[in-house]
Chain A
Amino acid sequence: MPLPVRTETQQGQSPHQTHSGEGAPVHPGSGTRRAKKRRPTEYTENTELQELEIDAKGIRINGKSGKRGHQNSPHLSRKTFRVFRVFRRPILFCLLLILPLASCRQETRVDRATREKILLLGNGAEPKALDPHIVSSVGDSNILRALFEGLVVNHLSDDSIHEPGVAERWEPNADFSEWRFFLRKDAKWSNGDPVTAHDFVYSYHRALHPLTASPYASMLFFLKNGEAFNTGKVQDFDSVGVKAKGDHELVCRLESPAPYFPDVVKHTTWLPVHRGTIEKFGKMTDSYTDWQKPGNHVSNGAFQLTEWRLNAHVKVRRNPHYWDAANVKPNGIDFYPIESPFTEEKAFRNGLIHYSYAFPENLVAKYQAMPDSPLRSETYNGSYFYRCNVTRAPTHHVDFRRALASAIDQETIVKYVTRGGQVPAYGFTPPAEGGYHPPRVIGFDPEKAREFLKRAGYASGKDVPEFTIFFNTLESHRNIAVAIQDMWKKHLGIDKVKIENQEWKVFQQTTQDLRYDVSRAGWIGDYVDPYTFLSIWRTGDSNNYTGWSNPAYDRHLEESALLSDPAARLAKLGEAEAILLDELPILPIYWYTRVYLLHPDVKNWYPTLLDHHPYKHIDLVPSVKGADR
């Protein structure tokens, strides 16, 4: 017993063992040697015991190295240092690696990219595909618009101006039901092949073909018999309203008149694909072949695909065959799929990207306070709202929905909850949508809300049965739901509102199966026209999900399509929206804004309603601050 006690005190007394302790696993023998040399006198009495080399269990515990350690041991402190050095080597190595990195920090990645005219863009999620007939998300279409060029393209700063793309000019017939597009003769694919009207017909055939199962095929239902062909009611593609008249004229016959048709064809589903490439890697209707990989991908836009690594980057570079190649300003674009807005914000601050796709709302105030802030906050073509299930109590009662809508203080939500400059929504369609303004039917009015509640048959909010607000799991949705829950309690006295988050796919299922009371929703317009918003509330529309249906509403929309006078048409759509806002199958909350960071080196980047920025015009010029450096 005394021996262990002594050993412990020895340990306690020796501060140098800290280092030798670390070093020892590598050189087990050295520890013994050191300790031995240090207090030779203390150990001499133990030597005899150690000589036995046998422990209680009869296993050798003291090998040769230990023995040798007794005999010749160098000085402890020097040895300790040497052992420690073994560990310093990787540290030094790491530092050597880091130093050059640290020293070349003067020129950031963004500075270099500006010099080389490569645009570095954050792009949200990883693209699902780079095939215009397969994808639908905003991030995917951002890349597609760099790679492909449609008939009509977006203007640099104004979405209502139609810029010629592959089509040099176009003309409608008298009632806007037939459109003729005259294609430029010098348009080329990135492999040098000419772009012809036949390419467009082939592309629309592919996108509408039932076997392709293109998720966004409905964008092409504008074409006569487009829907019938897609659903298989019509087998012959010749009956679909799209024809090539020679190589350079494309004729589109529409299902019903659409004066805003040039807006529609700007959508990515209307982009052409290269027949030879598609069929080299599979059938026309194959939706996932290798054609979209770098090296195989052929496109007709200002840029061509050069690299694609999942979750890392998509890189596009100049397409030398592009008809307007001389006027394409950037040499290339790197798209980075950074899903976390916090990471994006840091990457921006670190000089890794020119543009952040998203921005964390809790940093808005901090960035707004900066001089020359890179923060941009712009009106966007989208609406944030709640769906109400009109097929079950309590939301089936129109007055109850009116009460709920009138008790939502949207001003407070955008000011204190979302904080990104969002606009309180007094209607569903965002204002200024092609000159359209939604009618003012409802608004925040607690007095009126209580009145509606009484009319719905509830003497007080306490009598309202329990119901639930559903939303997909995301902190910002929760914050809004909590705020609204509180407003309904405060203004209406309803205390049995539950909030429930569900994982994305489960949430979609709940909503689409009408197993909810109130459900969060967002709708981004596909093109600039109120119709892209109002059409989803038609009876039986596949995106309705509320159970709401109103014959007068449907009739107004149908009639609007037949009006060739734009003003009369918008007025008609306004009448429809007035019905929607009176019956309220939806509770409008706010209109979206795009909040993002943009580097001052990026020129010609203007706020647009659709958030499309024609990349060929975007210039990169070192800003004054960069030049000083």
Chain B
Amino acid sequence: MDTLRYLLSRLAQSLFALFCIITLTFFLARLAPGGPFLDEKKIPEHLVEQMRRNYGFDQPLPVQYAMYLGRLATGDLGPSFGNKGFSVNEIIADSFPVSAALGFCGLVLALTLGIPVGVFAAARRNTIVDYSLMSLVTLGICVPSFVVAPLLGEFFALKLGWFDVALWENSSAWILGSVTLGLYYSTYIARLTRGSMIEVLSQDFIRTAKAKGSPPLAILFKHAFRGGISPVVAFLGPAVAGLIGGSFVVETVFGLPGLGQHLIKAASNRDYWLINGTVSVIAVLILTMNFLVDVLQAWLDPRTRANR
């Protein structure tokens, strides 16, 4: 019963947060200077007026907001101005799978690379191995993906010819995109894992385990790992959202038709409904992930369960 109540309250919180995000995005997009019908070659004033009428922008803002919420309730995210003839629903349905594939493969790589490195560095704390691994990780954090991505492309695609360097269709360029994302997030995961593993390893129950003669590897993986991985699990929420929605650079470098491109272009084009649509999708993603992560953490960390 308690668990159900906890889940319901978390769900209510998430929905409230989503509502706030949608509202804020709507008004912030409208407050930004410039507008969707502004271009270098000026569109005559009377035509801009007509376009505004065509899209319902001649109404007062609160009315537009109410209309927007009404449409949203029916699942209609509205038309896009930047991609005329496409609805925001179509655009998201088209680009989300690309970003999801990129992000999922990136995440798998980030976890399989980041966690072992972090655990290993923690186990070898303050040795040369730890220092060199952490230097590499720090380097990975510092070097932005717009540097890593072209380098990967230059080497694996143009020099070795293993992949295509760009484009989506029947092309292998997305693998390099995934690797770029995965490498970047693996560095964060490695640092997080190392830090929390070190913390857990210095706790009493570990000492007891050692005292009763548990083999070091058993201590590391059976006793410490479950607690040590907890911050990484917490990080998964924002990481997944970042991997899926924030892959703009990778998408640009490898010419991939993902969500990130739409998100950034919508903002610079003042493509209002596309801004609201993409932001809402990413918000839903973050909130869902955080919700799942909370559940997962409760399972991982007995103390969370006890406190509840």
Query: Are A and B interaction partners?
Result: yes
Residues of A within 8 A of B (CB): 3-4, 7, 10-12, 17-18, 20-22, 24-25, 28, 31-32, 34-36, 43, 45-50, 52, 55-57, 59, 61-63, 66, 69, 87, 94, 98, 101-102, 105, 109, 126, 128-131, 134-136, 210-211, 213-218, 230-232, 287-293, 309-313, 336, 338-340, 342-344, 346-347, 349-350, 352, 503-506, 508-509, 512, 521-522, 542-543, 545
Which of B183-191, B215-223, B282-290, B292-300 faces chain A? Answer: B215-223
How far in angstroms is the closest Cβ of chain A from B91? 6
Alpha-carbon distance between A107 and B241 when the two chains are bound, in angstroms: 38
Check B253 against A218 for contact (C-beta < 8 Å): no
Knowing A210-B50, A215-B39, the reply to whether A312 touches B220 (Cβ < 8 A) is: no
Q: Which residues of B contact A69 (CB under 8 A)?
A: 218
Residues of B within 8 A of A (CB): 32-35, 37-48, 50-51, 54, 79, 82-86, 91, 94-95, 112, 115-116, 119-120, 123-124, 127, 150, 153-154, 157-158, 160-169, 171-172, 175, 204-205, 207-223, 225, 251-258, 261-262, 265, 268-270, 302
How far in angstroms is the closest Cβ of chain B from A282? 10
Extra pairs beyond A46-B213, A61-B208 (6, CB < 8 Å): A28-B218, A46-B214, A49-B213, A230-B44, A292-B84, A312-B257
Alpha-carbon distance between A312 and B172 when the two chains are bound, in angstroms: 14
Knowing A56-B208, A102-B160, A340-B253, the reply to whether A232 touches B46 (Cβ < 8 A) is: yes
Knowing A336-B167, A503-B268, A505-B268, the reply to whether A310 touches B83 (Cβ < 8 A) is: yes
Q: Which residues of B contact A287 (CB under 8 A)?
A: 54, 84
How far in angstroms is the closest Cβ of chain B from A483? 22
Check A543 against B158 for contact (C-beta < 8 Å): no
Alpha-carbon distance between A50 and B95 when the two chains are bound, in angstroms: 54
Q: Which residues of B contact A17 (CB under 8 A)?
A: 123, 216-217
Check A126 against B83 for contact (C-beta < 8 Å): yes
Alpha-carbon distance between A506 and B267 when the two chains are bound, in angstroms: 12
Check A21 against B255 for contact (C-beta < 8 Å): no
30 residue pairs of the A-B complex, CB under 8 angstroms, read: A7-B210, A7-B219, A11-B124, A17-B217, A21-B123, A25-B116, A31-B220, A32-B222, A46-B213, A52-B212, A55-B209, A55-B212, A57-B204, A57-B208, A59-B302, A94-B175, A128-B83, A134-B84, A211-B50, A215-B41, A230-B44, A231-B46, A232-B46, A310-B94, A312-B167, A346-B158, A504-B268, A506-B33, A509-B35, A542-B44
Check A31 against B255 for contact (C-beta < 8 Å): no
Check B40 against A22 for contact (C-beta < 8 Å): no
By beta carbon, the residue of chain A nearest B51 is A213
By beta carbon, the residue of chain B nearest A526 is B41
Q: Which residues of B contact A47 (CB under 8 A)?
A: 213
Check A50 against B221 for contact (C-beta < 8 Å): no
Alpha-carbon distance between A57 and B265 when the two chains are bound, in angstroms: 55
Alpha-carbon distance between A198 and B85 when the two chains are bound, in angstroms: 25
Choose among B37, B172, B221 the residue that contacts A101 (Cβ–Cβ < 8 A).
Answer: B172
Knowing A213-B54, A347-B166, A350-B165, the reply to whether A338 touches B255 (Cβ < 8 A) is: yes
Q: Which residues of A contact B253 (CB under 8 A)?
A: 340, 342-343
Of the listed residues B42, B85, B219, the one surrounded by the most CB atoms of chain A closer than 10 A to its CB is: B85
Check B210 against A4 for contact (C-beta < 8 Å): yes
Check B216 against A35 for contact (C-beta < 8 Å): yes
Check B35 against A311 for contact (C-beta < 8 Å): no
Choose among B112, B205, B213 the residue that contacts A57 (Cβ–Cβ < 8 A).
Answer: B205
Check A352 against B47 for contact (C-beta < 8 Å): no
Check B208 against A505 for contact (C-beta < 8 Å): no
Knowing A346-B153, A542-B42, the reply to whether A61 touches B161 (Cβ < 8 A) is: no
Q: Which residues of A contact B210 (CB under 8 A)?
A: 3-4, 7
Check A31 against B217 for contact (C-beta < 8 Å): yes
Choose among A11, A232, A352, A522 the residue that contacts B166 (Cβ–Cβ < 8 A).
Answer: A352
Choose among B54, B169, B211, B257 the residue that contacts A3 (Cβ–Cβ < 8 A).
Answer: B211
Choose among B85, B158, B218, B256 the residue that contacts A292 (Cβ–Cβ < 8 A).
Answer: B85
Check A505 against B154 for contact (C-beta < 8 Å): no
Q: Which residues of B contact A87 (CB under 8 A)?
A: 112
Check A508 against B40 for contact (C-beta < 8 Å): yes
Check B42 against A543 for contact (C-beta < 8 Å): yes
Alpha-carbon distance between A217 and B51 when the two chains are bound, in angstroms: 13
Alpha-carbon distance between A521 and B39 when the two chains are bound, in angstroms: 12
Knowing A49-B211, A49-B212, A310-B95, the reply to whether A342 touches B150 (Cβ < 8 A) is: yes
Knowing A11-B124, A25-B225, A508-B38, the reply to whether A309 touches B257 (Cβ < 8 A) is: yes
Check B255 against A347 for contact (C-beta < 8 Å): yes
Check B169 against A313 for contact (C-beta < 8 Å): yes
Alpha-carbon distance between A48 and B213 when the two chains are bound, in angstroms: 8
Of the listed residues B42, B91, B116, B204, the one surrounded by the most CB atoms of chain A closer than 10 A to its CB is: B42
Alpha-carbon distance between A55 and B227 when the two chains are bound, in angstroms: 15
Choose among B38, B162, B219, B268 the residue that contacts A512 (Cβ–Cβ < 8 A).
Answer: B38
Knowing A288-B84, A350-B166, A543-B42, the reply to whether A55 touches B208 (Cβ < 8 A) is: yes
Choose among A62, A213, A522 the residue that contacts B47 (Cβ–Cβ < 8 A).
Answer: A213
Check B166 against A505 for contact (C-beta < 8 Å): no
Q: Which residues of B contact A25 (CB under 8 A)?
A: 115-116, 119, 221, 225
By beta carbon, the residue of chain B nearest A23 is B116
By beta carbon, the residue of chain A nearest B87 is A288
Alpha-carbon distance between A290 and B46 when the two chains are bound, in angstroms: 25
Check B221 against A31 for contact (C-beta < 8 Å): yes
Alpha-carbon distance between A309 and B261 when the two chains are bound, in angstroms: 14
Check A311 against B95 for contact (C-beta < 8 Å): yes
Q: Which residues of A contact B157 (CB under 8 A)?
A: 346, 350
Alpha-carbon distance between A289 and B258 when the two chains are bound, in angstroms: 23
Alpha-carbon distance between A339 and B223 when the two chains are bound, in angstroms: 50
Check B41 against A288 for contact (C-beta < 8 Å): no
Check B33 against A131 for contact (C-beta < 8 Å): no
Alpha-carbon distance between A21 and B194 when the two chains are bound, in angstroms: 13
Alpha-carbon distance between A74 and B302 when the two chains are bound, in angstroms: 33
Q: Which residues of B contact A504 (CB under 8 A)?
A: 34, 268
Q: Which residues of A contact B124 (CB under 8 A)?
A: 11-12
Alpha-carbon distance between A129 and B79 when the two chains are bound, in angstroms: 13
Check B214 against A62 for contact (C-beta < 8 Å): yes
How far in angstroms is the closest Cβ of chain B from A226? 12
Knowing A46-B213, A66-B218, A309-B257, the reply to whether A343 touches B166 (Cβ < 8 A) is: yes
Choose among B37, B167, B212, B257 the residue that contacts A46 (Cβ–Cβ < 8 A).
Answer: B212
Q: Which residues of B contact A340 (CB under 8 A)?
A: 252-253, 255
Alpha-carbon distance between A289 and B223 when the two chains are bound, in angstroms: 61
Alpha-carbon distance between A109 and B163 when the two chains are bound, in angstroms: 12
Check B214 against A61 for contact (C-beta < 8 Å): yes
Check A21 against B84 for contact (C-beta < 8 Å): no
Q: Which residues of A contact B269 (CB under 8 A)?
A: 505
Choose among B34, B112, B168, B171 the residue that contacts A505 (Cβ–Cβ < 8 A).
Answer: B34
Check B257 against A310 for contact (C-beta < 8 Å): yes
